[in-house]
Amino acid sequence: MRKKIAVLASHAGTVLQAIIDACESGRLDAEVCLIVSNNSGSGAAQRALRHHIPFRHLSGETHAVPEQLDRALSDTLRESAPDAVFLAGYMKRLGPRTLTTFAGKLYNTHPSLLPRFGGQGMYGAKVHQAVLASGDRVTGVTVHRVDADYDTGPIVSQCEVPVYADDTIESLAARVQEREREFVVETLQRLLA
């Protein structure tokens, strides 16, 4: 029986698409059983529609009280019975009910070698800008378990990506994102095996 992955995404969903593609091609022995976004107009919503994957928009718009949103997310995820919940560019902190209900099954990807360049507000171009400003010659991708804070859960796996002297934020981001899409699939296959 194929494993089931629920994916939470806030924006374009390029890592989500890599997971979907790997499932559909058989490179990842799993299926995406649910996509949840806190952004009703996200690329993740469009990808769910295109691939006929159940989709839910859950946000402060749908549930104004944080405790209600946490309950709705936890209940929605529980209904899909995932073996893993993967945060692929999900920009919201998870609530205590979701963290407790899915303890040990929640994973996130981050575009640096944590603990460097992680934490609240460190996402996207901000991470790559900080890497370049630091003078580091190596960055990478981290997959970690999710806990109550940003980017502080136990590290599951990491891979390195070189930083070149002539890198711009855009060139570094493109190289990290390309590796991230493949690395997430590799890591999920290992975790679900």
Determine the Cα–Cα distance for residues 120 and 101; give it in Å rounded to an integer.
23
Tokens 């990807």, located at residue: 109
**In this structure, what DSSP letter does residue 105 have?**
T
Residue whose C-alpha is closest to residue 72's, from 92, 52, 54, 58:
58
In the set 11, 110, 128, 144, the catalytic residue is 110
Is the CB of residue 30 less than 8 Å from the CB of residue 5? yes
Is residue 110 part of the annotated active site? The answer reads yes
Is the CB of residue 62 less than 8 Å from the CB of residue 69? yes
Beta bridge partners of 133: none
Is the CB of residue 182 less than 8 Å from the CB of residue 18? yes
Please list the active-site residues: 110
